């Protein structure tokens, strides 16, 4: 699979994963994507994960999430005017060696600078742990969507 196709699928998946479940159109799109996701996994050995993932990948997802969160806390996004607040959804593709294969904004915070700094935080958090033997049998790469939540008082408004 071409890198661009993988990124596009990851963005679609990340966007669908944060949509309200009650919307019938969203449910329909999620079902269509679920079928496509299985086909992609069979061909590209690519797994799509969220912070709520259970089973084989749960510890790995938690470790990646905690690493990114720690870095995001110490490098809280800011401009010359102060901290920037918002909630972009970041999509990270990680290979079996723990290298960040790709990172993209799946849903913008509405603030280009916050989105840019969120991508920088994800890149700086890499490399991540290598996949264990069981994970390597399951996938060559994972795509993980995560809501980067920068909240607080005195927000710099989105532009």
Give this prediction's pTM: 0.76
Tokens of 94: 């990680």
- Report the mean per-residue pLDDT for the chain: 83
Structure tokens at 74: 């110490």
- Residue 116: its pLDDT value, please? 97
Helix (H) or strand (E) holding 150: none
In this structure, the number of other CB atoms found within 10 A of the CB of residue 153 comes to 6
- Residue 1, pLDDT > 50, answer no
Give Dmax (Cα) for the chain.
48
Residue 105 near residue 89 (C-beta atoms within 8 A): yes
Q: How confident is the model at residue 154, as a pLDDT?
A: 47
| Mean pLDDT, residues 79-101 taken together | 94
Look at residue 159 and tell me whether its pLDDT is greater than 60. no
DSSP string, 62-97: HHHHHHHHHHHHHT--EETTEEB-B--EEEEEEETT
Average pLDDT over residues 96-105: 94
Q: When comparing pLDDT for 50 and 56, which is higher?
A: 56
Kindly tell me if the per-residue pLDDT of 27 is higher than 80: no
Q: Phi and psi of 135, rounded to 5°?
A: -70, -40
41 confidence band (pLDDT: 50, 70, 90)? low
Compute CA distances 45 → 38, 74, 112, 143, 152, whole Å.
9, 34, 32, 11, 39
Residue with tokens 């607040």: 85
Percent of the chain topping pLDDT 70: 70
Question: What is the spatial distance between Cα 60 and Cα 128, in angstroms, rounded to a whole number?
Answer: 9
Q: Which residue has the higher pLDDT, 18 or 142?
A: 142
Which CATH number does 3-147 carry? 3.30.1150
Torsion of CA 111, 8, 28, 52, to 10 degrees: -70
Domain ranges of the chain: 3-147
């Amino acid at each position: 699979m071409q890198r661009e196709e993988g990124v596009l699928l990851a963005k679609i998946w990340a966007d669908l994963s944060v949509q309200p479940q009650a919307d019938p159109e969203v449910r329909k799109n999620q079902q269509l994507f679920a079928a496509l996701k299985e086909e992609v996994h069979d061909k590209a050995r690519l797994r799509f994960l969220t912070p709520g993932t259970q089973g084989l990948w749960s510890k790995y997802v938690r470790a990646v999430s905690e690493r990114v969160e720690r870095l995001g806390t110490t490098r809280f996004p800011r401009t010359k005017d102060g901290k920037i607040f918002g909630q972009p959804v970041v999509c990270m593709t990680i290979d079996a060696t723990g290298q960040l294969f790709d990172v993209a904004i799946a849903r913008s915070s509405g603030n280009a600078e916050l989105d840019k700094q969120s991508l920088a935080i994800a890149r700086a958090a890499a490399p991540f742990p290598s996949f264990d033997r069981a994970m390597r049998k399951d996938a060559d790469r994972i795509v993980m969507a995560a809501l980067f939540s920068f909240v607080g008082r005195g927000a710099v408004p989105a532009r």
